[in-house]
Amino acid sequence: MVLIIGGAYQGKLDYVKENYPCKSLVQCSLEQTEMDLSGDIINSLHLIVLAQIRAGLDTLAYLREVYPKLKDKILICDDIFCGVVPVEKETRIWRETMGRALVFLSKNADEVIRVFCGIGSRIK
């Protein structure tokens, strides 16, 4: 598994398209609480996490369950855990859950790449 992280609008998807050509892409949304595992690239994982929080689901339990199916995937996720701590409770929970989820995914990923201003830096 390859995990691509970085801030919003930092060029993560473009980076993946340039460096991992000919891969199929699926887009996550707030309307789904599970990843569509049919594509090679799963974009916007952070939206699934927020949908799971809103549905009262345990994100870490879900990731542990689907992890064996993620071994050949490229996951793209916004970094939402930096900066000022949000005032809204849901956003704070999302930020904490997202951080814990990325710790789990990073530890189990073959590669972790942080994209900043369109430039990828391999951190694992």
Question: For 34-54, what is each residue's pLDDT tens digit?
Answer: 999 999 999 999 999 999 999
Q: Assess contact for 8 and 41: CB atoms under 8 A.
A: no
According to DSSP, residue 70 is labeled: G
Evaluate the CA torsion angle 1, 28, 18, 23 in order and state its sign: positive
Domain spans of the chain? Answer: 2-122
Q: What is the pLDDT of residue 22?
A: 78
- CB contact at 8 A, 123 and 111: no
Which comes out higher in pLDDT, residue 111 or 84? 111
Place 117 in a pLDDT band, splitting at 50, 70 and 90.
very high
Question: To the nearest whole number, what is the mean pLDDT of the chain?
Answer: 94
Number of H helices, E strands in the chain: 4, 6
Cα–Cα distances (Å) from 55 to 30, 44, 80, 120, in that order, read 11, 18, 20, 33
Higher pLDDT, 79 or 83: 79
User: Quick one: 2-122 is in which CATH superfamily?
Assistant: P-loop containing nucleotide triphosphate hydrolases (3.40.50.300)
Percentage of the chain beyond pLDDT 90 is 89
pTM of the predicted protein model: 0.91
Predicted pLDDT at 98:
94
